[in-house]
């Protein structure tokens, strides 16, 4: 029986696509994000299934017959063999009824590896079959760049150029990008800010001729395949803990927590989804007070959550609007002009009350959680994970969160050693596979903040 999985845009005015086209497109032509036309039901876990086997079973539901099962299994096996823990995403108990799911055992020590190791391989496979190549261009302030580079560094059909602001990332973050020695990887230090880098990437995508000639592509967090790959660990947590469980997610662009929403929609026994925020609390205000109003970004100790407009929230909004793309587009347009968004009482009753909770922590509270957790259990938490652990503690103290809860650990403590040392006096060492990070030679091109120079570099560096 053919299994034709279709994807629709959250703004309702772009053509429906199959999985492969949605993967390569990233953003839909109407500016919307792709979601499957229907949510599949969760199949039971085969006894003894490994993480990679459960992953292949689940992602196949979203790929349909565009890739054979043996191929999907091979790509999952390869992607998750890059993780340095045999359980891939181990569950560790922190406290009475509180577990941490460590998503940071991938090559670059952040949870983004879970998706990008698979997405890079999916890109390479479908491009090889079609006889095409793409050039991925992206801007990074730290984590995403290294995870994207690592995900595609062995791909024959993908070139990647990552721009970062010269002198403005941590040494670990920079070296994780500049020490990758692959013929298809280029790292550019731009003499400018992160926003300058991002604006130049947008300008390249907005230049239709350049975009087509270079076959530009993106792997940012709105790409459907990233959201898809993240569904799996919510499901394996419920498999192992035999649910119902709550899951707490240190959140930024809302991609990770939306993956949890999908897992629950498919039937995984997840009770509450807890959105944890730092001082950039637009999501917390929306969930607790129906107030989504953009403010200026405040730098924090958990920089990967320093986001004001969460791009993946659009996917939840589409669901809350009964999948009415026209209405969703209208609401987002109003949000862009007025800076505010709120939803109807009945939408909140159906989608939010009793389903989502939210809490925020400032930097002082975050350091307190890292210190207290280390004192209680000897576990070192990175600042992003600490925001999640602290959010659970707050909601339990308030009497709103009950039962077994899993907090997603989104980064390895050694990725943010300064904050961890400040809170505990202990500087977490890099794991063995990165121990030589500070000895490897760096390769990087410094370019001015000048679009013409960057375009010239992108178009000539690989050919």
To ligand PLP, the closest distance from the beta carbon of 138 in angstroms equals 13
Could you say which of 268, 411, 419, 434 contacts ligand PLP (CB under 6 A)? Answer: 411
Residue 188 or 227: which CB sits closer to ligand PLP?
227
The secondary structure of 404-415 as a DSSP string is -EEEEE-B-GGG
137 in Cβ contact with 161 (< 8 Å): yes
To ligand PLP, the closest distance from the beta carbon of 451 in angstroms equals 27
Q: How far is Cα 275 from Cα 287, in angstroms, rounded to an integer?
A: 8
Residue 384 binds to ligand PLP (criterion: CB under 6 A): yes
Residue 140 binds to ligand PLP (criterion: CB under 6 A): no
Taking CA atoms, 256 is separated from 31, 248, 313, 375, 407, in Å, by 21, 10, 10, 29, 12
Quick one: tokens of 398? 């308030």
* Burial of residue 412 (number of CB atoms within 10 Å: 0-12, 13-18, 19+): buried
Q: How far is Cα 298 from Cα 77, in angstroms, rounded to an integer?
A: 39
Quick one: tokens of 266? 């498919």
Q: How far is Cα 138 from Cα 222, in angstroms, rounded to an integer?
A: 13
Residue 370 or 458: which CB sits closer to ligand PLP?
370
Helix or strand or coil: residue 264?
Answer: helix
Residue 176 binds to ligand PLP (criterion: CB under 6 A): no
Could you say which of 272, 300, 304, 407 contacts ligand PLP (CB under 6 A)? Answer: 304
Residue 305 binds to ligand PLP (criterion: CB under 6 A): yes
Residue 67 or 352: which CB sits closer to ligand PLP?
352
To ligand PLP, the closest distance from the beta carbon of 251 in angstroms equals 4
Residue 79 or 248: which CB sits closer to ligand PLP?
248
- Taking alpha carbons only, the member of 136, 128, 114, 129 closest to residue 59 is 114
Residue 253 binds to ligand PLP (criterion: CB under 6 A): yes
To ligand PLP, the closest distance from the beta carbon of 151 in angstroms equals 14
Could you say which of 51, 99, 254, 318 contacts ligand PLP (CB under 6 A)? Answer: 254
Residue 278 binds to ligand PLP (criterion: CB under 6 A): no
Residue 146 binds to ligand PLP (criterion: CB under 6 A): no
To ligand PLP, the closest distance from the beta carbon of 272 in angstroms equals 17
Taking CA atoms, 262 is separated from 228, 273, 319, in Å, by 9, 11, 11
Residue 108 binds to ligand PLP (criterion: CB under 6 A): no
To ligand PLP, the closest distance from the beta carbon of 411 in angstroms equals 4
Residue 220 binds to ligand PLP (criterion: CB under 6 A): no
Q: Rounded to the nearest 5 degrees, what angle is found at the Cα of 461, between the Cα atoms of 24 and 189? A: 90
Helix or strand or coil: residue 132?
Answer: coil
Q: How many helices (H) and strands (E) does the chain have?
A: 18, 15
Q: How far is Cα 114 from Cα 237, in angstroms, rounded to an integer?
A: 15
Residue 157 or 256: which CB sits closer to ligand PLP?
256
Q: Rounded to the nearest 5 degrees, what angle is found at the Cα of 27, between the Cα atoms of 26 and 31? A: 175
Give the start-end residues of each E strand in 105-260. 134-139, 158-165, 185-191, 216-217, 245-250
To ligand PLP, the closest distance from the beta carbon of 179 in angstroms equals 19
Q: How far is Cα 273 from Cα 258, in angstroms, rounded to an integer?
A: 9
106 in Cβ contact with 114 (< 8 Å): yes
Which stretch in 104-112, 342-350, 430-438, 442-450 sits in contact with ligand PLP by CB under 6 A?
104-112
Q: How far is Cα 162 from Cα 177, in angstroms, rounded to an integer?
A: 9
- Give the CA dihedral 120, 126, 132, 138, nearest 10 degrees: -30
To ligand PLP, the closest distance from the beta carbon of 410 in angstroms equals 3
Could you say which of 113, 124, 125, 143 contacts ligand PLP (CB under 6 A)? Answer: 143
Residue 134 or 409: which CB sits closer to ligand PLP?
409
112 catalytically annotated:
yes
Residue 407 binds to ligand PLP (criterion: CB under 6 A): no
Residue 24 or 386: which CB sits closer to ligand PLP?
386
To ligand PLP, the closest distance from the beta carbon of 3 in angstroms equals 28
270 in Cβ contact with 247 (< 8 Å): yes
Residue 105 binds to ligand PLP (criterion: CB under 6 A): no
How many whole angstroms from its chain centre is CA 58?
Answer: 18
Could you say which of 5, 33, 63, 110 contacts ligand PLP (CB under 6 A)? Answer: 110
Q: For residues 223-252, which are near ligand PLP according to CB under 6 A?
A: 250-252
Residue 60 or 251: which CB sits closer to ligand PLP?
251
Residue 235 or 419: which CB sits closer to ligand PLP?
419
What residues make contact with ligand PLP under the rule CB under 6 A? 110-112, 143, 221, 250-256, 304-305, 384, 410-411
Residues known to be catalytic: 112
């Amino acid at each position: 029986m053919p299994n034709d999985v279709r994807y629709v845009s959250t703004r309702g005015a772009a053509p429906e696509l199959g999985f492969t086209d949605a993967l390569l497109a990233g953003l839909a032509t109407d500016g919307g994000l792709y979601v499957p036309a229907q949510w599949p039901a969760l199949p039971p876990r085969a006894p003894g299934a490994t993480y990679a086997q459960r992953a292949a079973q689940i992602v196949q539901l979203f790929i349909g017959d565009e890739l054979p099962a043996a191929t999907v299994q091979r790509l999952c096996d390869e992607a998750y063999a890059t993780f340095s823990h045999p359980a891939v995403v181990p569950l560790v108990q922190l406290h009475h009824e509180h577990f941490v799911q460590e998503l940071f055992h991938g090559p670059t020590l952040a949870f983004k590896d879970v998706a990008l190791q698979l997405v890079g391989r999916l890109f390479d496979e479908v491009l090889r079959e079609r006889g095409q190549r793409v050039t991925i261009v992206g801007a990074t302030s730290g984590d995403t760049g290294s995870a994207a580079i690592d995900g595609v560094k062995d791909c024959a059909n993908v070139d990647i150029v990552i721009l970062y602001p010269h002198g403005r990332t941590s040494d670990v973050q920079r070296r994780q990008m500049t020490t990758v020695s692959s013929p298809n990887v280029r790292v550019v230090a731009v003499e400018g800010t992160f926003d300058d880098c991002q604006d130049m990437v947008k300008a390249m995508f907005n230049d239709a001729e350049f975009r087509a000639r270079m076959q530009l592509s993106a792997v940012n967090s709105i790409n459907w395949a990233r959201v898809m790959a993240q569904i799996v660990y919510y499901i394996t947590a419920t498999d192992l803990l035999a649910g119902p469980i709550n899951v707490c997610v240190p959140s930024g662009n809302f991609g990770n927590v939306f993956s949890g929403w999908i897992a629950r929609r498919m039937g995984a026994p997840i009770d509450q989804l807890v959105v944890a925020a730092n001082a950039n609390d637009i999501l917390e205000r929306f969930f607790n007070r129906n107030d989504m109003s953009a403010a200026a970004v405040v730098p924090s100790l958990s920089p990967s959550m320093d986001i004001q407009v969460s791009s993946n929230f659009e996917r939840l909004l589409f669901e809350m609007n009964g999948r009415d793309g026209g209405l969703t587009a209208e609401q987002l347009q109003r949000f862009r002009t007025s800076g505010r968004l709120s939803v109807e009482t009945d939408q909140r009753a159906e989608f939010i009350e009793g389903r989502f909770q939210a809490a925020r922590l400032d930097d002082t509270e975050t350091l307190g959680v890292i210190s207290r957790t280390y004192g209680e259990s000897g576990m070192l938490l990175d600042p992003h994970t600490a925001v999640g652990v602290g959010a659970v503690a707050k909601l339990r103290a308030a009497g709103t969160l009950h039962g077994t809860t899993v907090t997603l650990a989104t980064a390895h403590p050694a990725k943010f050693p300064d904050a961890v040392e400040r809170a505990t006096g202990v500087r977490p060492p890099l794991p063995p596979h990165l121990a030589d990070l500070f000895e490897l030679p760096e390769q990087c091109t410094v370019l001015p903040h000048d679009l013409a120079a960057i375009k010239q570099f992108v178009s000539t560096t690989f050919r």
